Structure 1
Amino acid sequence: MNSFSTSAFVTLIFLLVFGFTASFAQHPDQTPLNNPGYEPEDGLFYRVTIPLETSETIRQVGDLGVAIDHVHFHENALQAELSGYELKLLREAGIPFGIHTRDMAAWYEAELTSDPVFQGGLPRLQGVPENFKLGSMGGHLTFDEVVAELDLMHELYPELITPKFSIGQSYEGRPIWTVWIASDLETPKPQAYYNSLIHAREPMSMMNLVYYMWWLLENYGEDDYATFLVDNRHMAFSLVLNPDGYEFNRMNNPNGGGMHRKNRRPVGTSNQGVDLNRNFGPMIFWDHPSGGSSTNPNTDTYRGEAPFSEPETEAMRTFTLSHDFRTVFNYHNFSNLLIYPYGSLNRETADSLTFRAYAAEMTAENNYVYGTDMETVGYATRGAADDWFYGLESSGGFGPSYNRISMTPEVGGANDGGSGWGGAFWARAERIVPLSQDNLLPNQLLAQFAGPELRLTENANLMLSNIDAPIGEEASFFFTVSGFENFGRSNMNLTFSVETDAGFITFLNDTSEHHLAYGESFAGLTDFFVFETAADAVPGTSFEITVTAGAPLSATSYSWDYTFTTTGQPVSSESGPELPRSLVLHQNYPNPFNPATTLFFGLPDAAEVNLRVYDSTGRLVQTLIEGRQYSAGEHRVSFDASRLPSGIYLYRLEASGQTLTRRMTLIK
């Protein structure tokens, strides 16, 4: 089965001809070695150059199932780090290559152990979490050291991070440890999920998350942003999704540099295991004809026998389906990229504008290139985690539709692992903190965007209908808003509130709430506040009122200040406000409404009042007031029609032997 699509081939040829705009930097010339008699060894990984002699070469390489997801392009050649078995496939297919480094694990180990930061220890730099430290594996934490870090985090911050718990076991029986960070797990909050080391040779994916976790914990109560995230989000972390592969690398290369990628299921005769990031469903993704995975168990992109055939991916699937994660990071390294769905389909998702907007903000500081797989690396990936987490816009019987915002950061550039044009599967110790800092903002924003996020568009506006405050009277002002957007991935209860320092002003309603689903915006919304000006206020006095728009669980809010002026003359205590001359039933506001509105009526004298609501057939649907005594003056009653269908309703006032009726319209 082909593992590289025609569209991928066309994209890569275009990039080669016109130059890569992503993270593939130009590298110094490397003269391929002429070694036709050398027999590649199955247990080694090699740095090679593949001349692109014809327009078919890249397609031929991809069709063999060779892992080309971390390659460099220089002039008319492809440079990659491939297994001995993959080189044999190239040779059998008649594709020439030159070997530059015969043992990448040994090369990485030499680079890692000679790094001055690894030798001398991590310096205490300003802004670096106090408890963040390097690991013993070339600066990277081993599996046991990750476990110790999780235990230490809970020991130091038991109220902010849970004890570690296993979401399942690997093929060889190791636990897949996971923790939650949140100050309150009892109250439902928007959820974000971070995972790493699904590929065993990519430890920088994990190190940057450990850095972020320490930043959250140590800055809680000190930094407003860290405190907001811990108080208003539930953040889950699975740091080592592939513990068997990672431990295999440690046992064989204890100083770092191990090149095993897959889990350790005993399949194939060489390079055993399944590529966990090609093992996700549903079937329409896992077996898509676009290619991007291999059916050959000896290759690095072997997809397994079926979607979720591996205990590691099944554990991740079970855990995430039991929670409502709104945003997800599936961490990898390297390439300085931020990739989003689709990987298997040669198109973007229905949420492409959201993915682009989030990615633009997340990469504002680290300048990672963002886009789909085809837009960033020029190849398809079927059976990858991003596609499964997002799902299909409409399942159509083929699979689930989750619509989570799921992305893959590829941490690090071409030279973070060593000198020359080497890769960065194993970043040098001196690069671990800078690379972690590069991804601090994306990690923060992933949690922030999981919840509601109030944003104002370019043409946003909030206008008032009145800025007069009549002395001794009750008055109202309407406000109209437009361009208010819920930029987050959780529904929002948008709240408008009003306040003033003027002691002679009393607000009779100081909040107004409106529902705004994620991804939606208000093209126009009108509501009002009612206030009363004291009878002894001084005429012509100017005062400020502040209208604030915000939402629970949103990191953003906006405020506007307006100047009001008192009008009229002071009212003596004997005269009081003018009373209605007759029974009056005002039009409700707002009208039309959804789902609530306010009814207003006035009494010339104290009276017993009944106020009822009927549907258009005359059927009583709700009694708002029954036999209650009211004083003379103006009064208001709220009516909530959340459980009623759209339609025309009548509201009827009975008082002092009189009956008044008006109509109102509910539109849902």
Structure 2
Amino acid sequence: MISVKNSKLVIQLIAVIIFFVSVNFASATAAVNENPKHSKVRVYVSGKSDIDKITSHDLHFDHAETSENYMETWLSENEISLLRKSGVSYQILIEDWNTYYNSLEKMSASEIRDAIQLSILEFNVSHSIYGSMGGYMTFNEVINKLDSMRIEYPNLISQKFSIGQTVQSREMWTVRVAKNPDAPAGRPEVWFHSLIHAREPMSMHQNIYFIYWLLENYNTDPVATYILNNRELYFTPVFNPDGYEYNRSTNPNGGGFWRKNRKQFGGNTYGVDLNRNYGIYQFWNSANNGSSTDSTSDTYRGKSPFSEPETQNAMNFVNSRNFKGILSYHTYGNYLIRPWGYVDAPSPDENIYQNISQDMVLDNHYTLGRSNQTVNYGVRGVTDDWYYHDSGHSKIFAMTPEVGTGSDGFWPQQSRILPLAKQNVSQNIYFAMFSGPFMSANSYKLNTEFYSPGDQGSLKVYLKNKGLENAQNVKVELVSQNSNVVVLTGAYSFTDFSSFREDSVSFDFSLSHGAVINTGYKMVLRIKQNDTNTVYTKNIHVVVGSGNVLLLDSAENGTGKWTASGGFGISTVQSFSPTRSFADSPTGNYTNSSVRTLTLLTALNISSAPVVVLSFMYRHAIDTLDNAYVDVSNDGGASWRSVKFYNKTVNTWTKETLDISDLAGGSVNMKIRFSLVSNGSVTNDGIYIDNIKLVNYNSIPTGITGVNELPFSFDLGQNYPNPFNPSTVISYSIPKSSNVSIKVYDISGKFISEIVNKFHSAGNYEASFSGEDLSSGVYFYRIEAGELSQTKRMMLLK
């Protein structure tokens, strides 16, 4: 066993061998088996001597999951033979990949239908991304999907075009996604590509899903609309069609393990790893051994930089465009990797990479850093290094997301396709926005936790342009949604807000003496660019009274109200009051490459009072490449969204107050979670949390203002009462005349009834819904008004 103290050293030593699945075996055999049996193996490594034994037999691993005293990876029969000869202990976890993959349960037609309906309700994406190859699309199905997108959305996506042919003369089909897509308009450009490794189809599926999110949400979601109006996004879903088609030919139901392209070197020896074939020569031939010179290896780098037609095509395409950013999607590992790969050193833009990476992974919690800090090995000849730094083009911010966990693997189970695709939408949105001007609010702070009727209050908003270009004609406004709260400060305007600039503004407001105790009143914070384009919206609640306490925990009674995993527990080293606190690593530093969580054990029903405020005390010492998170789930822990992340050092106890109402969503099944995610680099003391408090308040539907005002914005209120039996009232606000439809669905997405379908003038409205003939349970209600839509949950409890 390896001590915690030595775990970092061992993981770094593992880096020496973890990279290319390379066996110098061709000379000993007359032919190479192109489809060898693969097994999942746990290799026990107790120190440098074991690592030396492995490397002395020319055995190297790819996509290994590392722990303190072992690593797990998929190995071929030949590689297992070499491992056996090395004398290092190992254990076969899964005997045969093909048998394992074929045993995975496929989705039924009804399950697929339910998953798509849930996609509609959560992301407003109604198109299926499932295919015929074990749930994954074949190359031809991807081509047909791009053609059908063009037919359905001709003003938002271009006709597919090829950036060049592969070694087997297939086209590398690409599309441009933007408003008026047929002619580039000089807007900031971003390229998304996937399937450079042929056994990683989930990388392609998340790109297809993101395209559909953009297309289906145009003129509905303000951010999707802004992106398509102000960016040019390019997608090459299948970078390596030859390798992908080869996998289809050998494994028509999915699960093919071929990685490289299909260049033939004689006999049965094929393929160059396209993600080890990029220049410059300094990158391609780095001394870190991050690729193989053996043509039988899965990480064979080729005879020279850009020796392959696929990488030559990419080079020419990049040099012909003006890309600001490129995401090269892969599977697996839940990583977001940045340059450098060829050397274990930060790039000149390390601070920019760090800032954008932390924001990008706020929802999916991917591990951040360079290759040596994430996958724990160096790489050479990879996409990101050349995209980021080559004299043939301007600097491009390039990164590699690795989608899915180790248990998902290269071919995740069919039921995981949509969840993993949805997991990366916010990451892609952020990166698209980052390529140009991108005004946002880093945070905001009310001057007190709660108010009394008749009080004066203030809100301070911390602004940042998170994009690469200056923002023009910026407008920041705070708009009350109820007459009991009056905003006293007008909008702020900035003619020019430079890239990465930070600033703050303050708004004063007053509450009427008629404000109701234990009620939350909504204000909407909006940031606009070019006066009219809304790029940021945040609902902020002014809460009156001390509210209803749902949870109060100072850690004195242990973790009884929580599920602790990965090392989270009770600390007596630090506490705010009186003697204990929650800590991710109570007895010392957290370890490398770990995920630690503290999850509320019993879900809370906040549907009848859906304005929720979470407060707690905290202090922390966290490496800049690691993050602690506060997460919220509105479905009992099935999915999570983050409210905020923490790193670096805060040496004194500090109070945090977070309005989590939007993420909680009036749920009948709400949970909160504290988590810490570390990479394979530096560790630290971690985070301490104390005096956790959850309070909820009643909400006042936007339409109920007490005066005959027209609504400021489109809004769907939380039904009241909730839970209900048998009837409830739904309030909604329409800012302009349009036809309005409100439909109700059950938890599986099955349509129940339409309770509104008529033309409305701008105004505030209410509709009644009766569940007299329905069973108890959770239901969705969805409003559509012209190009606007919104969905919420309600609960029938009989």
TM-score category of the 2 structures, normalised to the smaller one = 0.5 to 0.7
Q: Trace 1:416-455 onto structure 2 (pairs within 5 A).
A: 416=408, 424-455=409-440
Asked if structure 2 preserves the Cα contact closer than 8 Å seen for 1:65 and 1:293, the reply is no
From 58, 66, 86, give the equivalent of 2:79.
Answer: 86
Q: Which residue of 2 aligns with 1:405?
A: 397
Greater fraction strand: 2
The offset of 1:120, in angstroms, is 5.5
User: What is the number of residues matched between the two proteins?
Assistant: 464
From 10, 15, 20, give the equivalent of 1:13.
Answer: 10
Q: In structure 2, what is the Cα distance between the partners aligned to 1:255 and 1:266?
A: 25
- SS of 2:341's equivalent? coil
Note the alpha carbon deviations across 1:169-222, whole angstroms, 9 max, x for none. 111111000001101344221111100000000000001111111111111122
- SS of 2:117's equivalent? coil
Q: In structure 2, what is the Cα distance between the partners aligned to 1:451 and 1:213?
A: 19
Asked if structure 1 preserves the Cα contact closer than 8 Å seen for 2:475 and 2:531, the reply is no
Note the alpha carbon deviations across 1:605-636, whole angstroms, 9 max, x for none. xxxxxxxxxxxxxxxxxxxxxxxxxxxxxxxx
Change (3 A) 1:342 1:268: farther
Asked if structure 2 preserves the Cα contact closer than 8 Å seen for 1:49 and 1:100, the reply is yes
Asked if structure 2 preserves the Cα contact closer than 8 Å seen for 1:327 and 1:450, the reply is yes
Give the aligned CA root-mean-square deviation in angstroms.
Answer: 3.7
Note the alpha carbon deviations across 1:104-142, whole angstroms, 9 max, x for none. 13321332xx32347953423233421123111111101
Q: Which 5+ residue runs of structure 2 have no aligned equivalent?
A: 1-5, 15-31, 446-460, 478-491, 506-524, 539-798
From 112, 115, 137, give the equivalent of 1:121.
Answer: 112
Q: In structure 2, what is the Cα distance between the partners aligned to 1:222 and 1:376?
A: 37
Q: In structure 2, what is the Cα distance between the partners aligned to 1:548 and 1:119?
A: 42
The residue type equivalent to 1:445 in the other structure is Y
Note the alpha carbon deviations across 1:83-124, whole angstroms, 9 max, x for none. 33433544565656444444313321332xx32347953423
Note the alpha carbon deviations across 1:500-541, whole angstroms, 9 max, x for none. xxxxxxxxxx9874473x4456899xxxxxxxxxxxxxxxxx
Q: In structure 2, what is the Cα distance between the partners aligned to 1:12 and 1:117?
A: 47
The offset of 1:11, in angstroms, is 5.4
Q: Which residue of 1 aligns with 2:468?
A: 489
Q: Which residue of 2 aligns with 1:109?
A: 102
1:361 aligns with 2:353: no
> Greater CA radius of gyration, 1 or 2?
1
Q: Which residue of 2 aligns with 1:292?
A: 290
Asked if structure 2 preserves the Cα contact closer than 8 Å seen for 1:41 and 1:84, the reply is no
Asked if structure 2 preserves the Cα contact closer than 8 Å seen for 1:132 and 1:210, the reply is no
Q: In structure 2, what is the Cα distance between the partners aligned to 1:303 and 1:69?
A: 14
Q: Which residue of 2 aligns with 1:537?
A: none
Q: Which residue of 1 aligns with 2:186?
A: 188
Q: In structure 2, what is the Cα distance between the partners aligned to 1:443 and 1:553?
A: 23
Q: Which 5+ residue runs of structure 1 have no aligned equivalent?
A: 1-8, 18-39, 393-398, 417-423, 461-481, 499-509, 525-545, 560-668
The offset of 1:400, in angstroms, is 5.4
From 206, 228, 231, give the equivalent of 1:230.
Answer: 228
Q: In structure 1, what is the Cα distance between the partners aligned to 2:419 and 2:33?
A: 35
Change (3 A) 1:108 1:345: same
Asked if structure 1 preserves the Cα contact closer than 8 Å seen for 2:247 and 2:258, the reply is yes
Asked if structure 2 preserves the Cα contact closer than 8 Å seen for 1:167 and 1:178, the reply is yes
Q: In structure 2, what is the Cα distance between the partners aligned to 1:146 and 1:162?
A: 15
Change (3 A) 1:382 1:547: closer
Asked if structure 2 preserves the Cα contact closer than 8 Å seen for 1:69 and 1:377, the reply is no
The residue type equivalent to 1:116 in the other structure is M
Q: Trace 1:643-662 onto structure 2 (pairs within 5 A).
A: none
Asked if structure 1 preserves the Cα contact closer than 8 Å seen for 2:527 and 2:534, the reply is no
Q: Trace 1:14-163 onto structure 2 (pairs within 5 A).
A: 14=11, 43-44=35-36, 45-58=38-51, 61=54, 66=59, 68-73=61-66, 76-90=69-83, 97-111=90-104, 114-117=105-108, 121-123=112-114, 124-128=116-120, 129-163=125-159
The offset of 1:548, in angstroms, is 8.4
Q: In structure 2, what is the Cα distance between the partners aligned to 1:192 and 1:553?
A: 23
- SS of 2:233's equivalent? strand
Change (3 A) 1:101 1:10: closer
From 345, 352, 376, give the equivalent of 2:374.
Answer: 376
Q: In structure 1, what is the Cα distance between the partners aligned to 2:474 and 2:441?
A: 14
From 319, 322, 339, give the equivalent of 2:320.
Answer: 322
The residue type equivalent to 1:487 in the other structure is K
The residue type equivalent to 1:134 in the other structure is Y
Q: Which residue of 2 aligns with 1:613?
A: none
Asked if structure 1 preserves the Cα contact closer than 8 Å seen for 2:164 and 2:310, the reply is yes
Q: In structure 1, what is the Cα distance between the partners aligned to 2:130 and 2:351?
A: 38
Asked if structure 1 preserves the Cα contact closer than 8 Å seen for 2:129 and 2:208, the reply is no
Change (3 A) 1:222 1:495: closer
1:388 aligns with 2:381: no
- SS of 2:186's equivalent? coil
Change (3 A) 1:408 1:511: closer
Note the alpha carbon deviations across 1:341-387, whole angstroms, 9 max, x for none. 11112111121121111111111111111111111111001111111
Q: Which TM-score applies when normalising by structure 2?
A: 0.53
Note the alpha carbon deviations across 1:408-460, whole angstroms, 9 max, x for none. 111111222xxxxxxx1101111111111111100111111111123567899
Q: In structure 2, what is the Cα distance between the partners aligned to 1:332 and 1:515?
A: 35
Change (3 A) 1:457 1:260: closer
Change (3 A) 1:12 1:136: farther
Q: Which TM-score applies when normalising by structure 1?
A: 0.63
Change (3 A) 1:87 1:12: farther
The offset of 1:57, in angstroms, is 3.2
The offset of 1:12, in angstroms, is 6.0
Q: Which residue of 1 aligns with 2:343?
A: 345
Q: Trace 1:222-621 onto structure 2 (pairs within 5 A).
A: 222-267=220-265, 272-391=270-389, 402-416=394-408, 424-455=409-440, 485-493=464-472, 513-514=495-496, 516=498, 518-519=499-500, 550-551=529-530, 556=535
Change (3 A) 1:511 1:97: closer
Change (3 A) 1:511 1:224: closer
The residue type equivalent to 2:434 in the other structure is F
The offset of 1:297, in angstroms, is 1.0
Asked if structure 2 preserves the Cα contact closer than 8 Å seen for 1:118 and 1:138, the reply is no
Q: In structure 2, what is the Cα distance between the partners aligned to 1:391 and 1:553?
A: 36
Change (3 A) 1:548 1:309: closer
Q: In structure 1, what is the Cα distance between the partners aligned to 2:282 and 2:382?
A: 12
The offset of 1:72, in angstroms, is 2.4
Q: Which residue of 2 aligns with 1:476?
A: none
Q: In structure 2, what is the Cα distance between the partners aligned to 1:308 and 1:360?
A: 32
Overall identity of the aligned pairs, in %: 35
The offset of 1:282, in angstroms, is 0.7
- SS of 2:119's equivalent? coil
- SS of 2:172's equivalent? strand
Asked if structure 2 preserves the Cα contact closer than 8 Å seen for 1:232 and 1:553, the reply is no
Q: In structure 2, what is the Cα distance between the partners aligned to 1:131 and 1:77?
A: 42
Note the alpha carbon deviations across 1:2-24, whole angstroms, 9 max, x for none. xxxxxxx995614799xxxxxxx
The offset of 1:234, in angstroms, is 0.3
- SS of 1:381's equivalent? coil
- SS of 1:183's equivalent? coil
